[in-house]
């Protein structure tokens, strides 16, 4: 067991202003950044605000930016940094700051509410849902999401353009739309809800320029861009921009033009 002193810069402040403060903290083998933040709290800055919970990369609470990269503090090992490196920890820079490392992520909850929920199929009682594994496995990948909002934080559409927040749901919630649109029992189309069209027209799918930062930062390794956003873009093309698909749906006289 070895220990060494490491240098940290931690952002401290609130909506009125703030700055990066320097700390020198003892680091032990096997520790993660969140351990260091807790040691700063315990020994040097007892009023340092930080949101955390499980310390196991499953609750999505301790999202922050470590050396400028959106990460879960509990899953960022100190061993990835050189011992003489100064580690900078800031709150998520896409959301309003509350205090120190805590941000107001309510933007994400507002966007979550804008996505219409799963529509139960008619005539199938709750508990009687039966689905084949091949039909649900695409959606299951997206269910791994722990809602840490790192993808929302890193997405330049809203990170660099506050004005786009009203129009753009962000990768996490576009992935939710994709998940439901791929769900084998979702009866949205039968209920008159067009998720493909809504993705483009109401949730701002067109703003996504598929630069894959959401995929890069996802701690669950979900291939958000390749498996959710691009397939959703292709589905929106089916609905809005592809005359052949439109023609095919007319010829087959299928009202919702959805492949089964």
Partner 1 sequence: MATGTEPHPQRPGGVHDPSRAAIAARHLRTDRWWLSPAGTAAGLLAFIVYSTWRAFSNADYYAAPYVSPFYSPCLAENCVPMRGGPNLDLFGSWWALSPALLILIFPLGFRLTCYYYRKAYYRGFWASPPACAVAEPHASYTGETRFPLILQNAHRYFFYAAVPVAGILTYDTVLTFRDGHYAWGHMGLGTLLFLVNIVLIWAYTLSCHSCRHIMGGRLKHFSKHPVRYRLWGWVSRLNARHMQLAWASLISVALCDFYVYLLASGTVTDPRIF
List of residues contacting partner 1 (CB under 8 A)? 9, 11, 13, 15-22, 65, 67-70, 85, 88, 90-91, 93-97, 103, 132, 134-135, 153-154, 156-157, 159-164, 182, 184, 204, 206-213, 216-217, 226, 230-231, 233-238, 240-242, 258-260
Q: Is 198 exposed, middle or buried (0-12, 13-18, 19+ CB in 10 A)?
A: buried
**Separation between Cα atoms, residue 257 and residue 213, nearest integer Å:** 33
Minimal distance, residue 1 CB to partner 1, in Å:
28
CB of 65 to partner 1, least distance (A): 7
**Token pair for residue 206?**
């067109």
CB of 196 to partner 1, least distance (A): 10
- State which residue, 144 or 161, has the beta carbon closest to partner 1: 161
- Residue closer to partner 1 by CB (options 116, 231) is 231
Least spacing, CB of residue 108 vs partner 1, in Å: 15
Task: For the CB of residue 4, give the shortest distance to partner 1 in the complex, in Å.
Answer: 19
Task: Between 55 and 206, name the residue whose CB sits nearer to partner 1.
Answer: 206
**Angle, helix 106-114 to helix 171-182, in steps of 10 degrees:** 30
Helical spans, DSSP H, in the chain: 33-43, 106-114, 133-142, 150-154, 156-159, 171-182, 195-201, 213-217, 230-240, 243-251
Decide: 185 and 126 in contact? Cβ < 8 Å. Answer: no
Q: Phi and psi of 131, rounded to 5°?
A: -135, 145
Q: What span, in angstroms and rounded, lies between the C-alpha atoms of 60 and 218?
A: 11
Between 56 and 134, name the residue whose CB sits nearer to partner 1.
134
For residues 173 and 207, which CB has a smaller minimum distance to partner 1 in the complex?
207
């Amino acid at each position: 067991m070895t220990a060494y002193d490491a240098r940290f810069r931690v952002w401290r402040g609130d909506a009125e202003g703030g700055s990066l403060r320097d700390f020198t903290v003892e680091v032990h083998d096997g520790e993660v950044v969140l351990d260091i933040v807790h040691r700063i709290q315990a020994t040097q800055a007892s009023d340092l605000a930080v949101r955390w919970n499980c310390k196991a990369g499953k609750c999505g609470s301790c999202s922050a930016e470590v050396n400028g990269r959106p990460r879960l503090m509990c899953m960022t090992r100190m061993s990835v940094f050189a011992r003489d490196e100064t580690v900078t920890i800031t709150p998520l820079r896409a959301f309003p700051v509350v205090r120190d490392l805590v941000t107001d992520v309510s933007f994400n909850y507002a966007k979550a509410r804008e996505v219409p929920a799963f529509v139960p199929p008619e005539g199938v009682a709750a508990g009687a849902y039966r689905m084949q594994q091949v039909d649900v496995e695409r959606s299951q990948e997206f269910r791994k999401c722990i809602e840490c909002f790192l993808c929302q934080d890193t997405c330049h559409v809203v990170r660099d353009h506050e004005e786009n927040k009203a129009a753009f749901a962000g990768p996490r919630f576009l992935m939710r739309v994709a998940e439901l649109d791929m769900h084998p029992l979702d009866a949205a189309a039968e209920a008159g809800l067009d998720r493909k069209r809504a993705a483009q027209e109401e949730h701002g799918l067109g703003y996504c320029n598929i630069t894959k930062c959401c995929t890069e930062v996802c701690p669950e390794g979900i291939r958000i861009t390749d498996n959710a956003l691009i397939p959703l873009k292709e589905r929106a093309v089916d609905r809005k921009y592809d005359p052949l698909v439109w023609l095919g749906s007319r010829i087959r006289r299928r009202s919702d033009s959805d492949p089964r």
